[in-house]
């Protein structure tokens, strides 16, 4: 699937286990090690980051422009059984791709893919309240803040900050 973003055509391709782990780690590494947006252990290295971002229940896509990786995203059921009709997604862009519309392109692709797979809603379980760029992106895409978890995230600079639960219906 492709998305036109500013002067780029961002191609979304499904990541392959046993092939793309190093590339996914390259994308995730700066964000994971900064420790300010993801719950992956900052000192967990590639193994910890992949366990967090790419568990067995998730499918991961890589966003590329002219073969250059710009970011990655995952889609998975938020729950099992009677809750499996709601999906969960996560996104990460390389530092040099930030501010170029890549996150919006990945979000649009994930919403399209979620609908294609028959999900009835998308839920973000744990959006760090200090991640204002992401929150604004999700709000513009019609996600509502449906919950607040006081002091749930230990930010490396800000201390204990809230985490938000965000939701959007897909039907």
Domains in the chain, please, with CATH? 2-120 (3.40.630.30)
Quick: pLDDT tens for 26-79: 999 999 999 999 999 999 999 999 999 999 999 999 999 989 999 999 999 999
pTM for this model (two decimals): 0.93
Query: How many secondary structure helices (H) and strands (E) does the chain include?
Result: 4, 8
Quick: pLDDT tens for 36-46: 999 999 999 99
Instruction: Write the CB contacts of 152 (distance below 8 Å, at least 6 apart in sequence).
Output: 126, 160, 161, 162, 163
């Amino acid at each position: 699937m492709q998305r036109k973003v500013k002067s780029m055509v961002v191609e979304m391709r499904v990541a392959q286990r046993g092939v793309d782990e190093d590339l996914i780690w390259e994308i995730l590494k700066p964000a994971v090690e900064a420790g300010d947006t993801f719950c992956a252990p900052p000192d967990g290295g590639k193994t910890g980051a992949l366990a967090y971002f790419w568990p067995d229940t998730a499918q991961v896509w890589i966003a590329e422009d002219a073969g250059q990786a710009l970011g990655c995203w995952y889609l998975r059921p938020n729950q099992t059984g009677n809750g499996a009709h709601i999906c969960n997604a996560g996104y990460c862009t390389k530092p040099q791709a930030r501010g170029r519309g890549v996150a919006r392109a990945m979000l649009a692709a994930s919403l399209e893919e979620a609908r294609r797979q028959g999900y009835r809603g998308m839920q973000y379980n744990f959006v760090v309240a200090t991640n204002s760029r992401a929150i604004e992106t999700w709000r513009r895409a019609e996600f509502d803040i449906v919950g607040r978890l006081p002091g749930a995230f230990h930010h490396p600079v800000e201390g204990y900050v809230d985490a938000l639960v965000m939701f959007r219906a897909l039907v």
